[in-house]
Amino acid sequence: MENERHQISDHSACAAQIDLRRVRTNPDFWYPVAWSRELGREKAIDVRFAGRHIVVVRPKSGVPYALDGLCAHRQVLLAKGEVHGDLLSCIAHGLKYNRDGQCVSPNVSAEAQCLRLRTWACREKDGLIFVFMGDQSLADKTPFPDFPRVRDRRYRTRRFGQMVNCHYSFMHENL
């Protein structure tokens, strides 16, 4: 009987522990979403983070920015559009967005909030492009991650870009 009680209490202790497969990511953090080499000047790429499409744009000035990845008008992938100077145009109807996410196309009122995209803080370091997916007011206050091995030529970094239908913790365990 005592041995049986001990087993039950051990099971209860395990049940109280956190199941890592159910832990969500912390949005208030800088996450690498692309390699710098993937994003040429006046180009845009679609990346996905936690199921959300994000378009990362490298304008003519060279400093990348990130916006919601679907056009506010018809939900078309913005990365399929073109970058002219600092503006990103949608391939469907040619609406143009600036780095603030505002549609700046002709005949569109500056007050047209329905045509504004959400912006994401974006930085580039050591050949990686990062976005801050959480509360944007915390981006400048949150320490920026450092991955010294990316700079180390003796260390090989690989990108795994396939969608795998599992929780990210399983990928950490198996890679």
**Domain range summary for the chain, segments of one domain joined by +:** 21-136+143-174
How confident is the model at residue 57, as a pLDDT?
A: 98
Side-chain half-sphere of 134: how many Cα atoms within 13 Å?
Answer: 15
Q: What is the pLDDT of residues 155-165, one digit of tens each?
A: 877 666 677 77
Question: Residue 81 — pLDDT band, cuts 50, 70, 90?
Answer: very high
Q: Are 90 and 79 in contact (CB under 8 A)?
A: no
Question: Residue 175 — pLDDT band, cuts 50, 70, 90?
Answer: low
Question: Residue 152 — pLDDT band, cuts 50, 70, 90?
Answer: confident
The total number of residues shown for the chain amounts to 175
H/E element holding 10?
Answer: helix 2-16
Residue 170 vs residue 75, higher pLDDT: 75
Q: What is the pLDDT of residues 19-74, one digit of tens each?
A: 656 667 788 999 999 999 999 999 999 999 888 999 999 999 999 999 999 999 89
Q: Is 62 helix (H, G, I), strand (E, B) or coil?
A: coil
Q: Give the 3-state DSSP-derived string for 117-175, with helices as H, strands as E and coil as C.
A: CCEEEEEEECCEEEEECCCHHHHHHCCCCCCHHHHCCCCCCCCCCCCCCCCHHHHHHHC
Dig out the tokens for 175 from the structure.
Answer: 């890679």
How confident is the model at residue 112, as a pLDDT?
A: 66
Q: What's the CATH class of domain 21-136+143-174?
A: mainly beta
How confident is the model at residue 38, as a pLDDT?
A: 93
Residue 1 vs residue 135, higher pLDDT: 135
pLDDT at 126 over 60: yes
Mean per-residue pLDDT over the chain, rounded: 84
Q: Is 93 helix (H, G, I), strand (E, B) or coil?
A: coil
Whole-prediction pTM value? 0.78
